[in-house]
């Protein structure tokens, strides 16, 4: 397969909470590639929440996407779990020792996010184009602007943060989008049933208020781009 989208738990949760899983299925039909989740992400969005009554319905909806073949596991791309696991723990070890505050290492990512990064790296090595779909801010900043993450952590924890800049290279080269950009694509492809000039605005703000880390300025930027295209 020529390309893949790798979904983290955060993006799937955002889409599910906003009732946009059907739009995700429509995107898959026109996507010349695979939508992939790791077993660690499946554990976070299906295996664990399905045991909790409050989250059971959303877990069943995502399981249905797997059953229908909209979401597939890495083996579809001939990637073995043990390969992902090895790189996953390596990524977690580096990320969770990069930033130090009050003499303590700050845990930034868990197995779900780290497994997605590991899978992306393996696909890159196999020359398979891939993009990570991550709504959670910390992982995105770790990849895109780790120096900004330092400032964010200092404000949040109200303490000076030391970081190992030599580790930046470990998280370079990944491509990330959010559920907001994905649904913008669905909107441009006329895959959204709703009609009206406020549909894109409603989509983006709904995602912002239910899971997607996107700023007001970024939303307006996407809307402006849409007007020009």
Within 10 angstroms of residue 218's Cβ, the number of other Cβ atoms is: 16
Task: Name residues whose C-beta falls within 8 Å of residue 171's C-beta, 6 or more positions apart in sequence.
Answer: 91, 94, 95, 117, 142, 143, 146
pLDDT of residue 146: 87
pLDDT of residue 65: 97
Reading across the β-sheet that carries 99-101, which strands appear in turn?
104-105, 99-101, 161-163
How many domains does one find in the chain?
Answer: 1
pLDDT, tens digit only, all 229 positions of the chain: 579 999 999 999 999 999 999 999 999 999 999 999 999 999 999 999 999 999 999 999 999 999 999 999 999 999 999 999 999 999 999 999 999 998 899 999 999 999 999 999 999 999 999 999 999 999 999 999 888 898 989 988 889 999 888 888 889 889 999 999 999 999 999 999 898 889 999 999 999 999 999 999 999 999 999 887 6
pLDDT of residue 117: 97
Q: Of the candidates 213, 43, 177, which has an alpha carbon nearest to the alpha carbon of residue 115?
A: 43
pLDDT of residue 99: 92
| Residue 159 belongs to domain spanning | 3-228
pLDDT of residue 166: 81
pLDDT of residue 133: 98
CA torsion 125→126→127→132, rounded to 10°?
A: -70
pLDDT of residue 229: 67
Reading across the β-sheet that carries 3-7, which strands appear in turn?
34-36, 3-7, 129-133, 176-177
What is this structure's pTM? Answer: 0.94
Q: What token pair was written down for 151?
A: 């400032």
């Amino acid at each position: 397969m020529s390309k893949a989208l790798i979904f983290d738990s955060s993006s799937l949760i955002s889409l599910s909470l906003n009732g946009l899983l059907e739009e995700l299925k429509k995107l898959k039909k026109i996507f010349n590639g695979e939508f992939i989740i790791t077993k660690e992400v499946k554990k976070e969005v299906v295996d664990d929440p399905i045991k909790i009554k409050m989250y059971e319905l959303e877990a069943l909806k995502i399981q249905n996407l797997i059953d229908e073949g909209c979401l597939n596991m890495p083996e579809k791309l001939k990637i073995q779990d043990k390969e992902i696991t090895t790189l996953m723990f390596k990524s977690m070890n580096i990320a969770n020792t990069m930033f130090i505050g009050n003499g303590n290492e700050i845990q930034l990512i868990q197995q779900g996010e780290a497994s997605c990064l590991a899978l992306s790296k393996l696909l890159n090595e196999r020359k398979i184009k891939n993009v990570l779909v991550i709504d959670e801010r910390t992982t995105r900043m770790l990849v895109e602007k780790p120096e900004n993450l330092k400032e964010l952590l200092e404000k949040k924890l109200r303490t000076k943060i030391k970081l190992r800049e030599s580790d930046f290279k470990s998280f370079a080269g990944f491509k990330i989008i959010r559920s907001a950009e994905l649904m913008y694509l669905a909107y441009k492809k006329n895959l959204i049933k709703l009609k009206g000039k406020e549909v894109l605005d409603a989509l983006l703000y709904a995602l912002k208020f239910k899971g997607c880390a996107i700023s007001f300025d970024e939303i307006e930027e996407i809307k402006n781009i849409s007007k020009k295209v």
